[in-house]
Structure 1
Amino acid sequence: MSIRPKILYFVTEDWYFCSHRLSLALASQQAGYEVVVVTRVNQHGELIRSHGLTLIHIELSRRSRNPFKELGVIWRLFRIYRKQRPDIVHHVALKPVLYGSIAARLVGVHAVVNALAGLGFLFVSKRWQARVIRPIVESAFRLLLNRNNTRVIFQNPDDMDLLINRGVLALGQGVLIRGSGVNTTQFNVTSEVDGVPLVVLASRMLWDKGVGEFVEAARLLRLHGIAARFVLVGEGDSDNPASISFRQLSQWQGEGVVEWWGRCDDMPQILAQSHVVCLPSYREGLPKVLIEAAASGRPIVATDVPGCREIVRNGENGLLVPVRDVSALANAIKQLIENPSLRIIMGERGRAMVESEFSIEHVVCQTLALYKELIRS
């Protein structure tokens, strides 16, 4: 092991690294680690390099099922790991966990951290493609995730229990670190903007995020004369089979049911304009946007599913509704639209919750402690 330990982060997309892992990487750097980032570089390469991090581009498609292309990715990873010789690797999301763990095993990396930020399409979807691939991935997980000096980070206990109960993960291999943390200075409480209440759903535009249910709830509320604006913030994801088409999003906006603002990078400003934040997702790891909403003092309407119920406590800082239930979703949104004092009370409780449990400092401290444990063992 080198005098200055080297940590390598492998993440699918550079924007995701900047949004969810940059603060952790910088904290690792400050703790004395040499930091290398392997990701598909698109628009955020200069930002990553500007912090003194070594950046290595790798071409990786989350949607590709071509075995020759995927073997090529593993081969390139093997060469990167062999050249960089990291002391510890931190893989984030399904493909990086699988492919990175194979490369780490071949090279003999001392310590491996695998972060499953939700079990995603493969474990949520009932489509035949997911049902075919799922047992193959589970078998690979059994071989790769249970090795000595390897730990798997989960963002909620439901996901960890699922893999343990299916015999995929051994007891003691999983670690619960809830979310990727939020900067409570950047996301702070502001007074509500006067005017018609703004209900925001901010995420990738995927059917699995409950976007369709949100639109139908908005349609229902409009039919009942509820005065509110309903806004979608985000864009589709061409690498995800559940992506909603540009045509469909444009059609909804053209009907006047919702406003579609597309991708917006200034989330503090978006949340400051909002009155209610909504995410009727089918399953999550721990959605960062909901932690940001709570940090901003905004009440939340979400589905009672793994991940969402980690940050939304029903009746305390928001309302939980059954998954795929448009009527219940509409009623919960209506309750908050019509009750400004309840919105303020829930917003205050959410802010206090984030400060005590979900701040970036809290998450960084837990993760650095895990690195230290694995490096020393």
Structure 2
Amino acid sequence: MSLGGLLQGQLKFMSQYYDVVGISGKGGDRLDRVSREEGIKVIPVEMTRKITPIQDLKAVVQLYKIFRKEKPFIVHSHTPKAGTLSMIAAKLARVPNRLHTIAGLPLLEATGGKRKLLDIVEKLTYRCATMIYPNSFGLKDIIIEHGYTIPAKLKVIANGSSNGINTARFDPNLYSEADNLKLKEKLKIDKNEFVFVYVGRLVKDKGINELISAFGKLSLENENCKLILVGVFEKDLDPLLPKTESEINTNPNIIFAGWQNDVRPYFAISDVLVFPSYREGFPNVVMQAGAMGLPSIVTDINGCNEIVSENVNGTIIPVKNPEALYTSMKKFMMNKDYSNQLSMSARTIICENYDRQKVWDALKKEYSEL
């Protein structure tokens, strides 16, 4: 139920073998675009991300009616809210195969009464499903540890990831040296400067406070470096510290690129991805960067510590540790041989383990065995 972005290309592939119907929130003309690009039938259902009992009940009823009419052999859901609503509706409609992919557990950050409620909802979702697909092995272990469901109901497809990476699209060879120099000139980056890049939301939960603290210290010691921030702030949901925002705005070595529809050119001009997130499912950004030949500095969290192997295609540091982040960034910057060595392994690892065709083939095999 997360169609145009998370599952891009997967639905078109599956439609060669199955009659695929996509269900998602309305989102303007987004569903129509998904229908055209993926070549599938789409049905809008109004769903909210927050807990809204009346709207949620309406959505369950609407989904139930759709499932009774369409009579699917499989209902496969993605994202927490859509998963809960669709698994309940599919069970009520007696759909034989009710599959739910888990791409992260944001509820683990909740506390008190809210956490207890979310735990109940999570267990209900899993109980209504016939099979649960965590998109990483670490996530599978966490689900078992918290007792959300029995191990027999859990399976990781391929090596993890919900959709894999289009390694033909994320390929550094698509960008010439002239292309890269042109973008560097536009961003006022000297061709000899060492470039770190971060791609994602600019929020506390992604470790941006620690990143800016570490880079601020590094850039004071050595001005021959740049940090590109590709993403947007979410000041209402998860604001940064005032001093972090101030550093972003005033440090001449930090480049705020904002939202970009295509992040590949920014990977192409960078040397290392820095991704100090507090929690993830199976982060696409780390796979995308790897496919573009970038080593990564990541935190020791679920997903990241499966994609990155220490001193092979990146390095792994503790969560919420700006000093460790600074030390790691400095090592990459001061030791070009080390950085280049890891860069050589980065693309190979992604192509061998997370190419999207391998994920799709594994999922198709799973469907065929139901």
**TM-score interval (norm. to shorter):** 0.7 to 0.9
- Paired residues of 1:199 and 1:275 also in contact (CA < 8 A): yes
Distance verdict in 2 for CA 1:207–1:58, change over 3 Å: farther
- 1:105 aligned partner: 91
- 1:136 aligned partner: 120
Shift of 1:359: 0.4
- Paired residues of 2:144 and 2:150 also in contact (CA < 8 A): yes
Shift of 1:167: 2.4
Shift of 1:232: 1.7
Shift of 1:206: 3.0
- Paired residues of 1:282 and 1:305 also in contact (CA < 8 A): yes
1:243 matches 2:243:
no
CA offset digits 1:107-162 (Å, max 9, x no partner): 1112121000111x211x154464243332244145324xxxx2111122221122
Amino acid at match of 2:224: A
Distance verdict in 2 for CA 1:49–1:138, change over 3 Å: closer
1:203 matches 2:187:
no
Amino acid at match of 1:199: F
TM-score normalised by the chain length of structure 1: 0.86
Q: Determine the C-alpha separation between the residues in 2 that align with 1:129 and 1:272.
A: 46
Q: Determine the C-alpha separation between the residues in 2 that align with 1:20 and 1:85.
A: 25
Which of 62, 68, 71 is matched with 1:85 structurally?
71
Q: Determine the C-alpha separation between the residues in 2 that align with 1:335 and 1:242.
A: 34
Tell me the SS of whatever aligns to 1:362.
helix
- 1:6 aligned partner: none
- 1:166 aligned partner: 146
- Paired residues of 1:297 and 1:347 also in contact (CA < 8 A): yes
Distance verdict in 2 for CA 1:299–1:43, change over 3 Å: farther
Q: Determine the C-alpha separation between the residues in 2 that align with 1:170 and 1:344.
A: 44
Distance verdict in 2 for CA 1:27–1:338, change over 3 Å: same
Q: Determine the C-alpha separation between the residues in 1 that align with 2:69 and 2:91.
A: 14
Tell me the SS of whatever aligns to 1:230.
strand
- 1:54 aligned partner: 41
Gaps of 5+ in 1: 1-9, 12-16
Q: Determine the C-alpha separation between the residues in 1 that align with 2:327 and 2:237.
A: 26
Q: Determine the C-alpha separation between the residues in 1 that align with 2:264 and 2:131.
A: 33
Which of 240, 254, 260 is matched with 1:258 structurally?
254
Distance verdict in 2 for CA 1:91–1:276, change over 3 Å: same
Tell me the SS of whatever aligns to 1:198.
strand
- Paired residues of 1:154 and 1:160 also in contact (CA < 8 A): yes
- Paired residues of 1:296 and 1:347 also in contact (CA < 8 A): no
Distance verdict in 2 for CA 1:237–1:83, change over 3 Å: farther
Tell me the SS of whatever aligns to 1:215.
helix
Bigger Cα displacement from structure 2, 179-188 vs 70-79: 70-79
Tell me the SS of whatever aligns to 1:175.
coil
Q: Determine the C-alpha separation between the residues in 1 that align with 2:69 and 2:243.
A: 46
Which of 287, 293, 299 is matched with 1:297 structurally?
293
Distance verdict in 2 for CA 1:21–1:138, change over 3 Å: closer
Tell me the SS of whatever aligns to 2:42.
strand
Q: Determine the C-alpha separation between the residues in 2 that align with 1:113 and 1:143.
A: 11
- Paired residues of 1:91 and 1:114 also in contact (CA < 8 A): yes
Give the total of aligned pairs: 350
1:225 matches 2:222:
yes
Tell me the SS of whatever aligns to 1:231.
strand
Amino acid at match of 2:207: G
Q: Determine the C-alpha separation between the residues in 2 that align with 1:264 and 1:139.
A: 37
Q: Determine the C-alpha separation between the residues in 2 that align with 1:91 and 1:106.
A: 15
Shift of 1:326: 0.2
- Paired residues of 2:209 and 2:241 also in contact (CA < 8 A): no
Tell me the SS of whatever aligns to 1:320.
strand
Amino acid at match of 1:185: A
Amino acid at match of 2:329: I
- Paired residues of 1:297 and 1:344 also in contact (CA < 8 A): no
Q: Determine the C-alpha separation between the residues in 2 that align with 1:271 and 1:60.
A: 34
Tell me the SS of whatever aligns to 1:65.
coil
Q: Determine the C-alpha separation between the residues in 2 that align with 1:252 and 1:78.
A: 51
Q: Determine the C-alpha separation between the residues in 2 that align with 1:330 and 1:286.
A: 24
- Paired residues of 1:141 and 1:168 also in contact (CA < 8 A): no
Q: Determine the C-alpha separation between the residues in 1 that align with 2:323 and 2:29.
A: 40
1:185 matches 2:154:
no
- Paired residues of 1:122 and 1:133 also in contact (CA < 8 A): no
- Paired residues of 1:60 and 1:73 also in contact (CA < 8 A): yes
Which of 270, 283, 305 is matched with 1:309 structurally?
305
- Paired residues of 1:208 and 1:242 also in contact (CA < 8 A): no
Spell out the pairing of 1:3-42 with structure 2 (5 A cutoff): 10-11=1-2, 17-30=3-16, 32-40=17-25, 41-42=27-28
Q: Determine the C-alpha separation between the residues in 2 that align with 1:71 and 1:248.
A: 43
TM-score normalised by the chain length of structure 2: 0.87
Q: Determine the C-alpha separation between the residues in 2 that align with 1:364 and 1:351.
A: 19
- 1:65 aligned partner: 51
Distance verdict in 2 for CA 1:111–1:345, change over 3 Å: same
